[in-house]
Structure 1
């Protein structure tokens, strides 16, 4: 694979990432799981910058799934504290670097103090144009689709939508990512090869790249190499070969 930055013609418009392997990395280092998540947040900072520099328009990071609420309460508390620290310390840098921040997921499940920080961060960065960072927090794709279906059902009940107007485009318009292009590329680290209830609708024609490295070991060069792999794919969108 070619080293260095890809040309702009190679670059996917939207990259989604499953940042997997923090806990296993920490265990192998003899560290706590929370230390793995801390290291993972530092890597995320570098990858966001690499994506922006490469010309990617949108990057979506799977930061905390709806299933993660079922983890050990001490780990969840630590993750919320880490998220709070990230929002308090990183948003100004994101803003200065032209990053627009958006959070998708079931916000009502997040603590009120974090919700307030999220709203402030989104307001502060709303007009930034270099790259849009979408963080999936308390996110599960099946719940997102159910919520979209429920909204459309209510519109049918209220006679604001006809059943025959329920199309793929209509459902897409009710998702959290309604105004965002579907991902061109999905990267998952740690060697696992599944999508874990992440952007199920949006990934219909996405190219997948699975990387056999834990997220804390993932580098900007690995990110650029994943883009090179993407560039070598022939995207058919369901058409014949």
Structure 2
């Protein structure tokens, strides 16, 4: 009876959270932390925690499909993870290898046209894991309805450092002028890339840090960040929905700030020339949400009325 009540309450709470969310973020990135601590809490070994975490990954894929998320990046294995004991590494590599083959052959992946990609220094991984990566990527390379990026041997600082060194070598060779170095030049020299910038980072396990994860694609896009306490194997749909709600709140706040700045700019320009204010206002309206555009239009009307009175 108690379990039935708990499930019913959880379902009601999820429905309430869902009603609070409008458009979902296009790209969610997750730091799957807490697998080993979950295992210790339950009297198990680390590999058991990682296996339970893999089940959560499958559930998250279902939630992304249901909620309209178009791209998911999972921080599966960092460059720092190479420092773990050999027995833990072998168990991790076993799990990563088997899951890549399993996902690559899964009906749900092909029915949903999911494209699997690995990002990171894949060449550092054992041959058997690299072969599994090639198999998964090859089996799904024609798809583009949903992107699943697996961050393997990934380190954000190393990624940016490698791109900077590549640019420096291109300048030294004379292939690139310093004046031509822009976002595109850096972007094209990163690891095999996600399709789009990150909108939301979720980290499980209680730590409030992003651990060198996707600094170019997340920080550069001012991604929202949601930290939560559950270990990755315990991560629930309600936790995921709360993360999406964090993104939505950030977006609304960001839109309000843009609207307020746009109105302030129109006022500043209107102090000197109303016609120019209308030109600037028209351009700003094209870049704002419908609510922000209405605010700018209202301000232009107020400025026009005050100009007539004057």
TM-score between both structures, scaled by the size of structure 1? 0.92
Q: 3-state SS of the aligned residue for 1:223?
A: helix
Give, in whole Å, the separation in 1 of the partners of 2:61 and 2:38.
21
Give, in whole Å, the separation in 2 of the partners of 1:229 and 1:179.
22
Structure 1 stretches lacking a partner, 5+ long = none
Ranked by relative contact order (alpha carbons within 8 Å, sequence separation 6 or more), the top structure is 1
What is the CA-CA distance between 1:88 and the residue it aligns to? 2.2
Is 1:219 aligned with 2:236? yes
Give, in whole Å, the separation in 2 of the partners of 1:140 and 1:124.
26
Q: Is the 2:73–2:148 Cα contact (8 Å) retained in structure 1?
A: yes
What is the CA-CA distance between 1:155 and the residue it aligns to? 1.5
Give, in whole Å, the separation in 2 of the partners of 1:179 and 1:121.
16
Q: Deviations over 1:46-68 (max 9, x none)?
A: 10121122111111100000000
Q: 3-state SS of the aligned residue for 1:181?
A: coil
What is the CA-CA distance between 1:181 and the residue it aligns to? 1.7
- Where does residue 23 of structure 1 map in the other structure? 36
216-225 or 27-36: which moved more?
A: 216-225
1:186-201 superposed matches below 5 A = 186-201=201-216
219-228 or 57-66: which moved more?
A: 219-228
- Where does residue 61 of structure 2 map in the other structure? 48
Q: 3-state SS of the aligned residue for 1:124?
A: helix
Q: Is the 1:191–1:213 Cα contact (8 Å) retained in structure 2?
A: yes
Question: How many residues align structurally?
Answer: 240
Give, in whole Å, the separation in 2 of the partners of 1:3 and 1:138.
38
- Where does residue 141 of structure 1 map in the other structure? 156
Is 1:106 aligned with 2:125? no
Give, in whole Å, the separation in 2 of the partners of 1:235 and 1:26.
39
TM-score between both structures, scaled by the size of structure 2? 0.72
- Where does residue 231 of structure 1 map in the other structure? 248
Change (3 A) 1:8 1:123: farther
173-182 or 10-19: which moved more?
A: 173-182
Give, in whole Å, the separation in 2 of the partners of 1:110 and 1:179.
20
- Where does residue 124 of structure 1 map in the other structure? 139
- Where does residue 83 of structure 2 map in the other structure? 70
Is 1:159 aligned with 2:169? no
1:7-22 superposed matches below 5 A = 9-22=22-35
Is 1:89 aligned with 2:106? no
Q: 3-state SS of the aligned residue for 2:210?
A: coil
Greater fraction of residues in helix: 2
Q: Deviations over 1:171-206 (max 9, x none)?
A: 122222546221110000111100111112222201
Structure 2 stretches lacking a partner, 5+ long = 1-12, 262-310
Give, in whole Å, the separation in 2 of the partners of 1:77 and 1:200.
28
Q: Deviations over 1:43-95 (max 9, x none)?
A: 00110121122111111100000000001111001100111111222221223
Q: Deviations over 1:72-126 (max 9, x none)?
A: 1110011001111112222212233321100001111111122112112111111
Change (3 A) 1:98 1:7: farther
Q: 3-state SS of the aligned residue for 1:64?
A: strand
Q: 3-state SS of the aligned residue for 2:215?
A: coil
What is the CA-CA distance between 1:41 and the residue it aligns to? 0.7
Change (3 A) 1:6 1:124: farther
Q: Is the 1:6–1:228 Cα contact (8 Å) retained in structure 2?
A: no
Is 1:38 aligned with 2:51? yes
